[in-house]
Amino acid sequence: MRNHDASHGRVLRRLNVWGLSIAGLALLAGLLGFPVTGWAEDAASASAAVSYRDIPQLGGSRNVIWVIAQLHLLLAGFVLGVPIFAWLCEIVGWKTDEKRYDKLAKEFTKLLTSSYATTALFGGILLFLLIGFYPKLMTYLTDVFFPSFLVYCALFLLETVTLYLYWYGWDVMLEGRAKVFHLFLGFLLNVFAFFIMIIPNSWATFQASPVVIAEGSSLARAWAATWNPTWWPVNVHRLIANVVLGGFICGAYAGVRYLSAKSAEEREHYDWMGYVGNFIGVFGMLPLPFAGYWLMREVYQYNQQMGITLMGGFLSWLFILQAMLIGVLFLGANYYFWLGITYRIPGAEMKYKRPIMAMLVILLLCLGVWMTPHSLVASLEEARKLGGTHHPLLGVFGVMSAKMTVANLMILVTFMSFIMYWRAGKEETATWAKVAKAMMSGLFGVAAIVIIVLGVWGYFVPAIVRINYFSVAQVLIVLFVLLTVTPLTALLMKTARTTSEMVWGRMPPRAGYALVLNAVMVILLMTLMGYARSSSRVHWHIYGVMRDSSPYAYSPALGYAAAFMSLNTFIFCLLVAFIFWVATMGDKGQAKDAGHGSALPAMAGGSQALDDRTDVKSV
């Protein structure tokens, strides 16, 4: 009975905190929104049809919107990625009966409550600012999309109710059918989250690729505008990217906690958490380039000029920066795998030294090719010496055929790293193991050769043949390798004998920094590609439909934009750190109350020993 009361007390305390935080956020939103409504009234009295408002004192309306929209999007990506991440962990915990996965899932769900409110707060601020700064555009979009606004609100209500049930019902739905129902709630949470993501996507993609909206009911018009050519490519791309973001942020959190861990138990726990985060991040990252390729294909098909603006126009250098960031991300993810093999698996260091070196060289070469610009900005004299704007030797690497080839090779190498890590410290006992291993090696070898052959052949065929057949074939080959080698390895490992146990908590500090670096790269990539998508509309609010006639109709140069990207990334990192700190503050207090001192990790799921402690289970 005492336990029951205590549990009620805890729930009430949580609700109180939650209620207070919501009230505080609403008040803050109101205060922030107040001046905007004031300006709106002034402007409305001055003119009946105001197109734009500005606040030059704060660096201009466009820059304010840039920061707020980017932070809202990053938080939204995090809020939508974490439930996928948590739900997957919960399923793994349920299937394998390893409680630490369940606890990890629960602790990340705890983050959702505070991050959900923060995301909604930024969404509210963004909406106020958009209505204030861009009334004409917002009126147009409202006219087109009003029915989907209503659906969006309804989905938010459903998502909120499901999140409450999912989070507050965790401890009472631990076993049997109740657990299955809880997993179903997690599934529903992700379904609603998915629809919450794709509805605003329709607004944003309509701005980039509008379609003709004929007469009809408001629902029919909204539906027609929603089904624009880039809607689904963006939906798929964002869904995968959110999983990557959630995974790498979990990894970064684990990295930071690992660096400041005070006990062996904490080190073990956060080392393991870093591994899980990095694994999910890499898992999502492998198919992401394919989704990006599909999106670009649709952009080209929708409007060739927009595609050229992106890939060959003033944004072409942006893709060199993108290549650099993705390259560093691939290197960081692989480096973390290699450190894991070296430090966690005793005796594996020497065995895998050569393959690791070979993979590092391949990755660096691929990165070099990917980062080679298509043409060089050169003076007339320099161009004469070069024989054109293309470098006589390196120019050959600047074209799409080479870049597609190396991107696919980098995915293959990363996948090899992952398979190597999976198999390290184990000896296959299946009778067909040799055949399977030979087959896997053959698959990797043949796939690499075919990808290179198609890449070289791509130089000698018309672009349309390369884009429609060769590039697609390269992508399909890599997907085929991923989808055949993964289940084959899983089958092999099922009966494999462990030769050296994995030892957690022995990674060097640079592993923690590698995890932080990966997360920063993913966030920077999201900000960079957000700028690319926005700038591809050039001087249009809605491409070809509504022109931007404000003083900010220009797209700024990359350097200026990069400063904003860095600023947004930094603020977002601080916000996430704050959310983590707030969410885990209670755990530390409870740990102290229970008299366990500092040995208890703030984020649950430290180890099996921790799971077995009955006093911890009741927390």
Contact footprint for another protein (CB under 8 A): 140, 210-215, 255-256, 259-260, 301-304, 309, 313-314, 317, 320-321, 324-325, 377, 512-513, 516-517, 520, 524, 535, 538-539, 544-549, 553-563, 565-566, 569-570, 573, 577
Q: Which residues pair with 497 in a beta bridge?
A: 427
**Length of the chain in residues, anyone?**
619
d(CA 55, CA 44): 16
For another protein, the closer of residues 303 and 500 by Cβ is: 303
User: What does the alpha-carbon distance between residue 587 and residue 470 come to, in Å, rounded to a whole number?
Assistant: 54
DSSP β-bridge partners for residue 427: 497
Instruction: Tell me which residue of 299, 83, 297 sits closest to 197, measured CA to CA.
Output: 83
What gap in Å lies between CA 519 and CA 431, rounded to an integer? 41
User: CB 543 → another protein: shortest distance, Å?
Assistant: 8
User: Whole-number minimum distance, CB 79 to another protein, in Å?
Assistant: 21
| Distance of closest approach, residue 398 Cβ to another protein, in angstroms | 14
Nearer to another protein, 339 or 562 (CB): 562
**Nearer of residues 499 and 566 to another protein, judged by Cβ:** 566
| Identity of the residue, 129 or 310, whose beta carbon is nearer to another protein in the bound complex | 310
Complex with another protein: residue 111 or 561, whichever CB lies closer: 561
**Cα separations (Å) of 536 from 316, 339, 377, 540?**
11, 40, 21, 9
Q: Smallest distance, Å, CB 298 to another protein?
A: 11
Residues 6+ apart with CB under 8 A from 465: none
Cβ proximity of 550 and 329 under 8 Å: no
**Furthest-apart CA atoms within the chain: distance in Å:** 88
Q: How far is the CB of 599 from another protein (least distance, A)?
A: 18
How buried is 49 (Cβ within 10 angstroms: 0-12 exposed, 13-18 middle, 19+ buried)? Answer: exposed
Q: For residues 480 and 554, which CB has a smaller minimum distance to another protein in the complex? A: 554
Q: Are 39 and 45 in contact (CB under 8 A)?
A: no
Cα dihedral: 385, 391, 394, 396 (round 10) = -130
Shortest distance in whole angstroms from residue 186 CB to another protein: 31
Say if residues 263 and 304 touch (Cβ distance below 8 Å): no
Using the minimum distance from each CB to another protein, give the nearer residue, 103 or 403. 403
* Least distance CB 384 / another protein (angstroms): 19
Task: Tell me how crowded residue 576 is: count the other CB atoms within 10 A of its CB.
Answer: 21
Q: 235 vs 569, which CB is nearer to another protein?
A: 569
Between 316 and 486, whose beta carbon lies closer to another protein?
316
CB of 565 to another protein, least distance (A): 8
CB of 478 to another protein, least distance (A): 27
103 or 541: whose CB is closer to another protein?
541
Residue 557, exposed/middle/buried by CB under 10 A (0-12, 13-18, 19+)? exposed
Shortest separation between residue 54's beta carbon and another protein, angstroms: 17
Secondary structure in 3-state letters for 59-115: CCHHHHHHHHHHHHHHHHHHHHHHHHHHHHHHHHHHHHCCHHHHHHHHHHHHHHHHH
- Alpha-carbon Rg for the chain in angstroms: 26
